[in-house]
Structure 1
Amino acid sequence: MNATDRTPADLLGSALARDPARPLVTFYDDATGERVELSVATFANWVAKTANLLQDELGAEPGDRLALLLPAHWQTAVWLLACSATGVVADVAGDPAGADLAVAGPDTLDAARACGGERVALSLRPLGARFPQPPEGFTDYAVEVPGQGDRFAPYVPVDPDAAALALPGDARGGGSPSQAGELSGAQVVERARADAGVRGLAPGSRLLSTLGYDSWDGLSAGLYAPLAAGASVVLCRNTAGLDPAELAKRAESEQVTHTAEGR
């Protein structure tokens, strides 16, 4: 990755310039049987469309706070990078009542209604499908995002030293200092690079993660560290009832080189 990259969106831009065709995120949902593989180019296209939705349709501005009420999922990863591209603070599992916008899945719609600003709903159905019936009071992401532009340019340059990511259990909600807090884009990149080094990730590595996106460890293993290393992630959701032998077989078929397992 480029040493001058100072935000997660910068890391994605460098990955796109380096090898757009390589896999970046491979997602499994063991509750639905879904498998989705996104190349760097495809992932970056989703990020651009989502950033355009944020900036142009939802009116988000740098410094706005977005309550991200989504599980570990490939579309959550897209939203994290779209927030980085626009300068919006991604408040993971944050309080919707204190947010400017809220993004929710099927299980968090009621909580998201506390947000007085724009609200976006994701069905989290296979292939990014829309809701059979759009939730009242929400923009259906799957309906609105396809028509957005394939390239994104922020109206205002993103400040790498401005707040970018609020972790679950930050100063507003308690939690351990090692797992909680608010990070700038530059700090996210710095921590991701450090984690990549500790994990031994390098260009071409494949990290399988079963961790949730409810902590820095999960966010790092499931997105940021592989991105910083020029590696890729196999992100697995709902693995609690999965036979360990099946998970091992998956790791072999996906040519996994590193794992991050737990919870």
Structure 2
Amino acid sequence: MNATDRTPADLLRSALAADPARPLVTFYDDATGERVELSVATFANWVAKTANLIQDGLSAEPGDRIALLLPAHWQTAVWLLACSSAGVVADVAGDPARADFVVAGPGHFEAGLACRGERYALSLAPLGRRFVPAPPDGYADYAVDVPSHGDRFVPYAPVDPEEPALIVAGAEYTGAEIVERARAEAADLGLTGPGSRLLSGLPYDTWEGLSAGLYAPLASGGSVVLCRNLGQADEETVAKRIESERVSATAR
């Protein structure tokens, strides 16, 4: 990563320039058996399309707040980086009534209706499938709308790294603070540099979960094996995963 990177979106651009083919996010759901691996290039493509959806589809402006009512999931990671790219605030598990927009997954659709702005629903089904036959009332289907957006993203105005970028567990962070904290915490998490792989079973509703499950691996040039419902896997399964995925550190 470059010392000049000031936002999570900067970190992703540097990762893309350095080695687009390497794995960045490998996702497991131990309730469904799903496994998805996203290279830096594939992840960045999803981020670009989602950032274009935010900027052009939602007409969101820098400083607007998007409540992310989502679990630790590869699509949540995409939304976090897309928000950073567009300069909007990702409010993780935030109050929908105080948000400009809402992105919700199963179990949160009713709560998300408190937002008066536009709302997107994610099925969180394997391979990011759309809702069948239709998304919940009051929501647009992310899986239907995002493919039509561009593979490259350029914000209408440069993103200020000193402006708020993330709210989680009641604490607010600027883009620069996210990068600084993630870099500082990477070594303590066992991320010693490029090639390091961290298995995280932590939820995304705390800074610790976001750092282990996304930001610190990105800041260190490493990658994350992100596990949802890890408690449903037995120790033998976890041990085999650690070996097969060449995991070098864990956060559980």
Paired residues, what number?
250
Q: Does 1:120 align with 2:120?
A: yes
In structure 2, the partner of 1:110 is: 110
Q: TM-score, normalised by structure 1?
A: 0.94
Q: Does 1:212 align with 2:213?
A: no
Cα distance in 2, alignment partners of residues 243 and 209 from structure 1: 15
Identity %: 73
SS for the counterpart of 2:188 is helix
More displaced 10-residue stretch of structure 1: 236-245 or 55-64:
236-245
In structure 1, the partner of 2:249 is: 258
In structure 2, the partner of 1:26 is: 26
CA contact (8 A) 2:190 2:248 kept: no
Q: Does 1:71 align with 2:71?
A: yes
Q: Does 1:140 align with 2:130?
A: no
In structure 1, the partner of 2:153 is: 152
SS for the counterpart of 1:67 is strand
CA contact (8 A) 2:48 2:153 kept: yes
For structure 1, the 5+ residue unaligned runs are: 171-180
Superposed, which structure 2 residues align to 1:31-70 within 5 Å?
A: 31-70=31-70
Q: TM-score, normalised by structure 2?
A: 0.98
Q: In the TM superposition, what is the alpha-carbon distance from 1:73 to its structure 2 partner?
A: 0.0
Deviation readout 1:151-196 (Å, 9 max, x if unpaired): 000001100000000012x1xxxxxxxxxx1000000000000110
Superposed, which structure 2 residues align to 1:217-236 within 5 Å?
A: 217-236=208-227
CA contact (8 A) 2:189 2:251 kept: no
SS for the counterpart of 1:130 is coil
Q: Among 184, 199, 203, which residue is 2:189 paired with? A: 199
CA contact (8 A) 2:87 2:159 kept: yes
In structure 2, the partner of 1:90 is: 90
Q: Does 1:3 align with 2:3?
A: yes
CA contact (8 A) 2:31 2:232 kept: no
Q: In the TM superposition, what is the alpha-carbon distance from 1:137 to its structure 2 partner?
A: 1.2
Q: Does 1:182 align with 2:183?
A: no
SS for the counterpart of 2:107 is helix
Cα distance in 2, alignment partners of residues 86 and 198 from structure 1: 30
Cα distance in 1, alignment partners of residues 118 and 239 from structure 2: 42
Displaced runs of 4+ in structure 1, greater than 6 A? none
Q: In the TM superposition, what is the alpha-carbon distance from 1:241 to its structure 2 partner?
A: 2.0
For structure 2, the 5+ residue unaligned runs are: none
Aligned-residue CA RMSD (Å): 0.6
Q: In the TM superposition, what is the alpha-carbon distance from 1:200 to its structure 2 partner?
A: 3.3
Cα distance in 2, alignment partners of residues 230 and 218 from structure 1: 18
Cα distance in 1, alignment partners of residues 162 and 152 from structure 2: 24
CA contact (8 A) 2:197 2:224 kept: yes
Deviation readout 1:181-231 (Å, 9 max, x if unpaired): 100000000000011022231110000000000101100000000000000
SS for the counterpart of 2:227 is strand
